[in-house]
């Protein structure tokens, strides 16, 4: 049997995490089909057909799918699920919202947020916010799997030529209405996908001092994060919170400034490739996970850091 991947898109473009999920899905089953549910999303269908790992694109085109609602997508997926051994999508807010609704109707116990495919029925997934890794084997006939996007490379989008076939729509669900989507307009990258993240903790002392952080974030094209302590103290809004109860981030570079390193914060960032800690308390637990630790007063270190970064640019130019 084949695997069916559910695409996330905005009717114009494929959302990037779908490409990471395609990589994982093709490790589960090489005969990978993609289900595209949308409205006037022909361009998206073409993009998906161009992904070399994709063998077939099933395109369900209907105006009721202009805005994504799990209630409307689910019956379409269930209708198409019959011929597939695995139903797969990305474990971002799209897939997290959608897949359990599908799994329950298929009477399948879903495996969420996998970070490695061990075999077609066995996967590695983090539990306790990454403080433990569980190897799990699904015994269900039909498996529903969501993929942690940052654990897989995105699939290439050129070189493939999958066939595009039309799929059947389902009835619209009447008990829900889409009202609006407000996209956060920020010049900075999203916290969840940024290559560099710089976070401030209680050591920042007040919200005004976060300017020292944002200046460096602008320089490095980084997202701005914060510890729960900084959020609780009101220095910054909680959409910046990194940690077990906030966002889990896996950037190439994570810079923790004035963050002592509480367990719940470490759970949200310790998988980062390179970790830098700047803290005046040399005994702070954050140093135990840092690749590079600088024991210094952040109010002296941050302006110097910016200055050094500026110098680098001058050299490069």
Partner 1 sequence: MKILVAVKRVIDYNVQVRVKEDGTGVVTDNVKMSTNPPDDNAVEEAVKIKESGKGKEIVAVTIGEDKAQETVRKALAVGADRGIHVKSEGVLEPLAVSKILQKIVEKEKPDLVFMGKQAIDDDCNQTGQMLAALLNWPQATFASKINVKDKSLEVTREVDEGLETIEVNTPAIVTCDLRLNEPRYASLPNIMKAKKKPLEQINASDLGVDIKSRIEQIKVEEPPKRKAGIKVASVAELVQKLKNEAKVI
List the interface residues with partner 1, window 205-224 (CB under 8 A).
220
List the interface residues with partner 1, window 235-264 (CB under 8 A).
238-239, 244-246, 252-253, 262-264
- What whole-number distance in Å separates Cα of residue 3 and Cα of residue 81? 9
118 φ/ψ angles, rounded to the nearest 5 degrees = -90, -45
165 Cβ partners below 8 Å, 6+ apart?
56, 57, 58, 59
List the interface residues with partner 1, window 278-317 (CB under 8 A).
282, 287, 289-296, 301, 304-305, 308-309, 312
User: Is residue 139 within the footprint of partner 1 (CB under 8 A)?
Assistant: yes
Smallest gap from Cβ 33 to partner 1, in A, equals 23
- Binding segment (CB under 8 A) for partner 1, from list 30-38, 81-89, 207-215, 269-277: 269-277
Q: Taking every pair of C-alpha atoms in the chain, what is the biggest distance, in angstroms?
A: 62
Per-residue binding letters, 90-109, with partner 1 (x by CB under 8 A)? --xxx-xxxxxxxxxx-xxx
Q: Provide the edge-to-edge strand list for the sheet that holds 163-166.
A: 111-114, 143-147, 84-90, 2-6, 32-38, 54-61, 163-166
User: Is residue 86 within the footprint of partner 1 (CB under 8 A)?
Assistant: no
How many residues make contact with partner 1 (CB under 8 A)?
89
* DSSP 8-state secondary structure symbol assigned to residue 278: E
List the interface residues with partner 1, window 11-40 (CB under 8 A).
17
**Contact predicate 190/59, CB 8 Å:** no
Strand partners, 9: 14
Smallest gap from Cβ 209 to partner 1, in A, equals 17
From candidates 183, 187, 208, 283, binder to partner 1 by CB under 8 A? 183
């Amino acid at each position: 049997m084949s695997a069916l991947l559910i695409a996330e898109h905005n009717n114009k473009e494929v959302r990037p995490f779908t490409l990471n999920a395609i990589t994982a899905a093709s490790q589960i089953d090489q005969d990978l089909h993609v289900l595209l549910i949308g409205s006037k999303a022909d361009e998206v269908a073409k993009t998906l057909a161009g992904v070399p790992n994709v063998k077939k694109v099933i395109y369900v085109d209907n105006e009721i799918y202009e805005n994504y609602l799990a209630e409307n997508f689910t019956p379409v997926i269930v209708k198409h699920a019959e011929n597939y051994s695995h139903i797969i999508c990305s474990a971002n807010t799209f897939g997290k919202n959608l897949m359990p609704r599908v799994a329950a109707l298929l009477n399948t116990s879903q495996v969420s947020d996998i970070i490695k495919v061990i075999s077609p029925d066995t996967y590695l997934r983090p539990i306790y916010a990454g403080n433990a890794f569980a190897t799990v084997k699904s015994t269900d006939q039909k498996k529903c799997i969501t993929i942690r996007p940052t654990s897989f490379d995105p699939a290439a989008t050129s070189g493939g030529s999958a066939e595009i076939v039309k799929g059947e729509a389902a009835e619209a669900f009447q008990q829900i209405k889409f009202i609006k989507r407000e996209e956060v307009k920020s010049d900075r990258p999203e916290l969840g996908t940024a290559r560099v993240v710089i976070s401030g903790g209680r050591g920042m002392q007040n919200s005004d001092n976060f300017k020292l952080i944002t200046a460096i974030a602008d320089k490095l094209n980084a997202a701005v994060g914060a510890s729960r302590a900084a959020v609780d103290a009101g220095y910054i809004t909680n959409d910046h919170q990194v940690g077990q109860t906030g966002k889990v981030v896996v950037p190439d570079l994570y810079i923790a400034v004035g963050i002592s390193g509480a367990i719940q914060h470490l759970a949200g960032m310790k998988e980062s490739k390179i970790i830098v800690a700047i803290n005046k308390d040399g005994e702070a637990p954050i140093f135990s996970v840092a690749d590079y630790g600088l024991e210094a007063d952040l109010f002296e270190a941050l302006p110097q850091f910016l200055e050094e970064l500026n110098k680098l640019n001058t050299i490069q130019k």
